[in-house]
Amino acid sequence: MKLSEHWTLEELVFSSTAIRFGIDNTPPPEAIENLKLLVNHSLEPLRVVAGVPLHCDSGYRCPQLNSKVGGIRDSQHLLGQAADIVPPPGVSVEELFELAARNVAFDQLIQEGTWVHISYRASCRGEMLGATFDANGKAHYTPRFIDKA
């Protein structure tokens, strides 16, 4: 199902982990509506300003999949409100983060490892965070500030 010019529902629900463990990651109707909002307000505008295809590494996650990948219990991925975007070749995670911060609407924008987490909901906080990982792989988040000029 095409959600916008450059994004499909299939790519926002695909999960190699779900396939590997036989998990049905089909989103309920409410999550599909949230994914449409995420695409139209955040992902499609980011794709347009980036000028190159973007890859969603993790979008919607059913509860079983979220648990399997170590997602937090109240993850916006569970609601279809978040996607982890991997930068295209030649673009750093920092560059993708800054491009999103300056050009698209978001609830949360997090620079995490090799991807950028972007979420959208009706009442957006505009929160920007950076993640660092300790020796056990646990993420620690700190506020980020980007000059939007």
d(Cα 7, Cα 41) in Å, to the nearest integer? 12
* Model confidence pTM above 0.85: yes
**What are 88-126's pLDDT values in tens digits?**
999 999 999 999 999 999 999 999 989 999 999 989 999
d(Cα 109, Cα 128) in Å, to the nearest integer? 5
**What are 36-70's pLDDT values in tens digits?**
999 999 999 999 999 999 999 999 999 999 999 98
Residue 59 in tokens: 């979008």
CATH number of 9-143: 3.30.1380.10
Q: Where are the alpha helices (DSSP H) in the chain?
A: 9-13, 16-21, 29-38, 44-50, 63-68, 93-103
**What are 12-35's pLDDT values in tens digits?**
999 999 999 999 999 999 999 999
Computed on alpha carbons and rounded to an integer, the radius of gyration of the chain in Å comes to: 15
CA distances from 9 to 35, 110, 113 (A): 8, 22, 25
Query: What is the pLDDT confidence band of residue 149, given thresholds at 50, 70 and 90?
Result: low
Residue entry with tokens 């399997």 = 68
